[in-house]
Amino acid sequence: MAKFPVEPFKIKAVEPIRQTSRAEREQVLRQANYNLFAVPAQDIYIDLMTDSGTSAMSDHQWAGMMMGDESYAGCRNFFNLQEAIRSITGFQYFVPTHQGRAAENVLFTCTVQPGQSVPSNMHFDTTQANIIARGGKPVNLVAEEGLDPVSHAPFKGDIDLGKLEAYIQQVGAENIPLGMLTVTNNSGGGQPVSMANIRATGNLLHQHGIPFFLDACRYAENAYFIKLRESGYADKSILEIAREMFSYADGCTMSAKKDALVNIGGFLAMNDELLYERACQQLILREGFPTYGGLAGRDLEAVARGLWEGLDEQYLAYRIGHTKYLADRLLEEGIPLLEPAGGHAVYLDARRFLPHIPQAELPGQALSCALYVEGGIRGVEIGSVMFAYEDPDSGEMLYPALELVRLAIPRRVYTQAHLDYVVESCQRIYARRQELRGLRYTYAPALLRHFTARFAPL
């Protein structure tokens, strides 16, 4: 048995990447106003900004792309995708969308009225923004250990069921059009949600007549953690575990850009026929006819094939092991992380990394800039830049509990040597962390600020 995860694939096509000099990177970062979203990808060496849409597709998926049926209505790839979604999720109806946030938009447009709340373990950024855009209120009720960066609880993505019950009592079930769980919990460190918690959340919501949806973009990684960590699941297949997860829900949103191993695509699935009919109307308005939903036939085929590949147990063992390898190497160097490793990413704990920079001076953003200057590495801040907001009642700035820099690992793209290079770069920054300074905003839009904000060093 090897001491490190060995790739269950070999490499057939390569894409060159280019090292730049430190002086070049300093210049690029200045020009990008210290926002890594504004840095051209050709100036990045190792791109860990996201695991979304960045997977390497397999030869089987690429072959499927050549089988794209580009008919406007009823293309054969739609039916292949329908077969995969029905078989894996058990949901009767679905509409394809161009990516996850489009599925969110359609779902919330059909369900959320102004003033209503949507509780979850933790909403991710686009989900939060899409609820707010409908005049709704996103509510995060993750269990206490999910906010403790060093707790090794096995399922730190679980929702606090007591808080969920109390919240339903407080605002009334009629003001909650649906409840959600994000699997795995992206804003909380890519931590999994247990089957017991998914089941209990479904039961609790249903007792109050509230529909339950999964934000399912990393459902296969979540299923693999259940197999590893939850008693009674060690001998079940990933497909069986996934089916059970979905069986407690009434539907899901899915960004296929994650666990379905494609560069673009998503869907909204559900059992409620009336909701499906309304979703089709929204889809035609925004995305396209319900058998293609903003995608080409070839894209639908890649999603259909990728959904099956993403459930392969050997692949998942490598995938989760690869992420854990990076976390373990960083921990060996004493670098503070959110522990244990998540499924798709390692999250540097900027608060413990840079205790001398207060949250108002954006320590996560400062750390992500330092990573770029040091190694040409692009991570993403998941902290105050992404989530701090002004309380509409008190006008006070509310900062998130966690101040993180996420190093998300694209699927089947980087090797162990690439990860070792990331560790060495982090190590050099950690050695001179006292020299790092915070940042201030020079421009900050109201919604989804992180994508386009501009900064200046303090």
Q: Which residues bind ligand P70 (CB under 6 A)?
A: 49-50, 52, 99-101, 124, 126-127, 182, 186, 215, 217, 255, 257, 266, 380, 408
CB nearer to ligand P70: pick between 327 and 386: 386
Minimum CB–partner distance for residue 211 and ligand P70 (Å): 18
Least distance from ligand P70 to the Cβ atom of residue 196, Å: 21
Contact between residue 256 and residue 89 where contact means Cβ atoms under 8 Å apart: no
CB count, 10 Å around CB of 125?
18
Q: Which residue is nearest to ligand P70 (CB)?
A: 100
**Angle, helices 125-133/100-111, rounded to nearest 10 degrees:** 30
Bridge partners, residue 213, by sequence: 180, 251
Q: Are 241 and 220 in contact (CB under 8 A)?
A: no
C-beta of 279 vs 408, nearer to ligand P70? 408
* Triad 302, 265, 76: Cα angle to 5°: 50
Closest approach of ligand P70 to the CB of residue 209, in Å = 25
Q: Which is nearer to ligand P70, 407 or 430 (CB)?
A: 407
CB closer to ligand P70, 25 vs 378: 378
Measuring CA to CA, how many Å separate 164 from each of 39, 41, 180, 195, 304?
A: 40, 41, 11, 17, 35
Kind plus residue range of the DSSP H or E element containing 327: helix 313-332
CB of 1 vs ligand P70, minimal distance in Å: 32
- Give dist(CA 361, CA 366) in Å, integer: 8
Cα of 245 vs its chain's centroid, Å = 18
As measured in angstroms, the least distance from the Cβ of 63 to ligand P70 is 24
Partners of 349 in the β-ladder: 404
Smallest gap, in angstroms, from Cβ of residue 103 to ligand P70?
A: 8
Residue from 246, 308, 294, 296 nearest 95 by CA: 294
Across the chain, how many H-helices and E-strands are there?
16, 16
Radius of gyration of the chain (CA): 21
Cα separation of the two ends of the chain: 49
Reading phi first (left if > 0) and then psi (alpha if -120 to 50, else beta), residue 448 is in left
Closest to ligand P70 by CB, 294 or 297: 294
Minimum distance from CB of 283 to ligand P70 (Å)? 15
- Pick 166 or 285: Cβ nearer ligand P70: 285
- Min CB(37)–ligand P70 separation in Å: 7
Tokens of 98: 């161009």
Task: Considering the complex, state which of residue 251 and residue 430 has its C-beta at the smaller distance from ligand P70.
Answer: 251
Q: What span, in angstroms and rounded, lies between the C-alpha atoms of 16 and 24?
A: 19
Residue whose CB is less far from ligand P70, 242 or 430: 242
222: DSSP letter:
H
Q: Of the two residues 310 and 430, which places its CB atom closer to ligand P70 in the complex?
A: 310
Which of 375, 406, 398, 391 shows the shortest CA–CA distance to 19?
375
Q: Of 124 and 414, which has the nearer Cβ to ligand P70?
A: 124
Classify residue 56 by its DSSP letter.
Answer: P
Cis, peptide link before residue 340, omega less than 30° from 0 = yes
User: What is d(CA 168, CA 153) in angstroms, rounded to the nearest whole number?
Assistant: 26
Nearer of residues 138 and 363 to ligand P70, judged by Cβ:
138
Cα–Cα dist 382/187, whole Å = 7
